[in-house]
Each structure stands twice: as structure tokens, then as C-alpha cells.
Structure 1
Amino acid sequence: MFDASDAFKLLGVVAAVRGADSKRVEFEGAYETGGGSEVGISFKGAPSEAQPLKEFLEPQLRAAKDKDLKARFEIAFAQGLDLGSDAPEKLNEQLTRFATGAAYVEATAEVKA
């Protein structure tokens, strides 16, 4: 993400993905207040549990003198995602709709023997 607000927009989008067996978000970063105080951030967990952190961080990061926030979202489908259908394209569209140009979507597949 190029901006923290883009990462925060994706929280609700990822939480709304249907058919996923697990959804995970990771935030790592820091910011410096106008007065020179420093705050470090590390969160790993469910997108729904990141919502209170988002509510706290949004105004803090807007007012920050300096800031850095990295976000990573993982969505897993234990039963798989039908690659022969339009499901992958729909998922990609759903994830990038609210963060066009700011989100990079990478998908990996595992073949079960």
C-alpha cells in the first residue's frame, strides 16, 4: 500500500470475501507525532479485530509528522478457488475496486495430491 488509508479501506473488503476459510491482516509500522514522540505498531490477526486499531490509527497517522505503515492481507480457501471459472477475476476485482493503483494482489495455489 502506498498510503495507510488504502490499507484501512481493504479491511472491510477482505472481511467481506465469501467462501474463505481464513482471513488475516498484518500491520507493521511507526509514526512520529508533531511533538517528537514515537509510536511503533505491530498487529497480526483477523481483519475484524483490526477495526478498533484502524479507528485509533487513522487520525493519528493523518496528524503525524512522519509515518510508515506496511500492510499485508492473506485470504485462504481450503476448498480452493475454481480457477476454471471467473472466481479469481471477481476476487481480484473485489479487492482492487477500493484501492485501485494502490493494491498489489498476488495469488498462489497449492495442488493437493
Structure 2
Amino acid sequence: MTRPLCAKGIWPRSPAPSPSVITYSPSPEPSGTVNDRPTSTIAPSVSPTLSLPQHTFVAEAPLREALTQIWEQARAANVKTLASLEIRLYDPNDAFMILADVRQLPETKTTVSWQGNYQTVAGSQLDFGYEGDLNDLGPVEDFVAAQMRAASEKELHATYAIAFSKGLELTGNAPEQLTERLCRQGVGAAYVRASASIAT
């Protein structure tokens, strides 16, 4: 039975060739800290033509104090103009109180991030989230505000990312005027982050 198979070269079978192996040794990635916080050990690919290095300033305190710290940090770093300001609030009352003031800021574009939940007196629960332009927040704001007023338990983490179309000049008193606008209702604890191009 085996002779015809041998004659045709079918049996015994030749061993399959071993697959070639390609080895790759990644080069070490840079690591370090920014504002005393560890940075990722994986360097992101950034096109120098699309983005500029930035100064970033961070403070966490009652909003008035946090903003004051941001202005001091930026001026100490010889930054002349801030491009954006991010305010993160943890109290639902603060999140709603500041909305009217943020809406009135001239020459800005604000992006809103809301993550929250509430429980009714009857025990019903709802988790909700919103990511988008401040101008589209109105219907969501009306609904959530009404529900939270009647809720037995509630939680809302709100972030307002404010982009200054012409930059926020630090050489004059514009930052202090902004502080008065945003803090006139006594907003509490906040995490604040500001960014500016090094070229400023």
C-alpha cells in the first residue's frame, strides 16, 4: 500500500518549514513628572504642526482661592495669555449656581460634562450624563434641576471647559474680573486647570 504513495511523493510527508521569527526590541520611552504628577511612560505621537507644548497649571480649593492660585502660577511662569480654563465642581448646588455666570462670559466657548445620579423619595433611581456644548444644555438642565430639588439623595460632578477665543490676558486685571464673575455666589470646592501655549 505504501509503494504507490512513495512513487507519487505523497508519503512520507516532508516536515513543514519552520516559520521565520521576527523580534522587536522597543526603545525605552521617556518618563518624568509634570506639576509633581507622574507622566505616562508611553510617549504619545504628536505632530509638531498640529499642537504646541503647553504650560498647565492646577489648583484645588474653594473656587475663588483656586483661581487666585492659577493666576499666580501662570504669572510666575511668565505666561502672558491663557488659552483655556477647566473648572470641576462636586456639589450639585455649585454646579447649577455657576451656570448663569459661565453663560455670560464674552468671547468664550464652553463644553460641559455632567455625570450624576439621584434617588426619589419613593426609591426610584436614575444615573445620567451629558457631554456637549453649553448652549445645548438647557433642556437637560431644566429636567435635572427639577428632579434634584425633589430627590432624597443626589450627586453631580460637573466640569466646565472654557476656551477663550482671544485668550485670557494676564498682564492686566482680566483674571481678577473673571474671578469676581464666577465667584459672586460663593462657589465651594473646585478643581481648576488652566493651559497656555509656551509661545504666549
Give the number of the structure whose residues are more often strand, by fraction. Answer: 2
Asked if TM exceeds 0.5, the reply is yes
Gaps of at least 5 residues in structure 1 are none
In structure 2, the partner of 1:13 is 101
Question: CA offset at residue 102 of structure 1?
Answer: 1.9
Report 1:1-113 matches (<5 A).
1=89, 3-20=91-108, 22-98=109-185, 100-102=186-188, 104=190, 106-113=192-199
Q: Distance in 1 between matches of 2:179 and 2:151?
A: 32
Percent identity, aligned pairs only? 33
Contact 1:96–1:103 (8 Å) recurs in 2: no
Question: CA offset at residue 76 of structure 1?
Answer: 0.9
Is the alpha carbon distance of 1:105 and 1:16 closer, same or farther for their aligned partners in structure 2, counting shifts above 3 Å?
Answer: farther
Asked which structure has the greater CA Rg, the reply is 2
- Over the aligned positions, Cα root-mean-square deviation in angstroms equals 1.9
Gaps of at least 5 residues in structure 2 are 1-88
Is the alpha carbon distance of 1:9 and 1:35 closer, same or farther for their aligned partners in structure 2, counting shifts above 3 Å?
Answer: same
Contact 1:14–1:47 (8 Å) recurs in 2: no
TM-score by length of 2: 0.50
Alignment length (residue pairs): 111
